[in-house]
Copies of this chain bind each other. A is one copy, B any other.
């Protein structure tokens, strides 16, 4: 099966040894490698009645590319571990694998290794490797009082897409696609690093929750301005149709895989990024200097 899945697939220059041996060999030109793993489970992170197998594969890759980007790195390779029941159809298997490979090829990288095992549930686990291209990693702990907070990518779209799917609708297509196959702005990660980003994170848990990680790691207070947080017109339209709150989706919806970062000044913020808050002394995350919603955990919960 592995032969069938890997045959004729794209492998770029940095894949020094691809699939088919005990392990792969990937170039790590600056003597360091960025590595992260992300796992999607059927029934928890995806449903095959909501998403085509290709879309699940693409989504798994998106989450990983976003994590690599959030370090300021460019992706260099993926490894894929695919656990699934023996009864899984060839269509589903090939679809999952194709989704992973296509998304990898879009990012200019290859799937260099992996394994397929038998399991009661489909579990797609992807490891992404990346290169910092000689730069320091942009961590969660570098935000300083006086920095500005900026975001890049769509906020709340995945949550809106899920709300649409939950009602049994299939449109607006753009929202549903943002949920099924988020396209994280992973090229913006290295751009932000070059521009001097002091901290960066992937918004997988929702903007407030993820900035909470940055605030904690950096020992700072982050205050967002509700009028500056980008809320797309389409998001407002869907919210109004479904009775949701677009700002809540943008602030707390997960799985967007947008990027949030801090920069020393507004002048340093690259185009494509939107300034929406500032870093102060203190702790925690607020919106317009107030705690958001007043409820406990602002973070995202997967739908199960």
- Contact residues of A with B, CB < 8 Å? 16-17, 20-41, 43-45, 66-68, 70-71, 73, 77, 79-81, 83, 112-115, 117-121, 123, 125, 127-130, 132, 137, 139-141, 200-202, 217, 302, 304
Contact = CB atoms under 8 A, between A and B. Distances in A.
A28 B23 contact: no
Nearest to A204: B22
Nearest to A113: B36
Question: Of A37, A39, A44, A79, which is in contact with the most chain B CB atoms at under 10 Å from its CB?
Answer: A37
Given A118-B44, A125-B125, A37 B71 contact: no
A23 B67 contact: yes
Contact of A34 (B23, B114, B141): B23
Given A83-B39, A123-B119, A32 B45 contact: no
Given A23-B68, A43-B120, 10 more contacts: A22-B66, A22-B70, A22-B71, A22-B140, A23-B130, A37-B81, A39-B117, A41-B118, A41-B119, A44-B117
Contacts of A44: 117-119
Contacts of A21: 71, 137, 139-141, 217
Contacts of A119: 41, 44, 121, 123
A35 B67 CA distance: 18
B68 A20 contact: no
Nearest to A200: B22
A39 B125 contact: yes
B26 A32 contact: yes
Copies in the complex: 2
A201 B22 contact: yes
Contacts of A33: 25-26, 28, 33, 129
Residue from A27, A35, A129, A130 with most neighbouring chain B CB atoms (10 Å): A35
Contacts of A77: 35
Nearest to A259: B22
B26 A35 contact: yes
A24 B34 contact: yes
Contacts of A36: 22-24, 79, 113
A115 B79 contact: no
9 contacts: A22-B140, A23-B130, A24-B35, A25-B34, A40-B117, A83-B123, A118-B304, A119-B123, A123-B125
A37 B304 contact: no
A121 B118 contact: no
A132 B25 contact: yes
Nearest to A189: B22
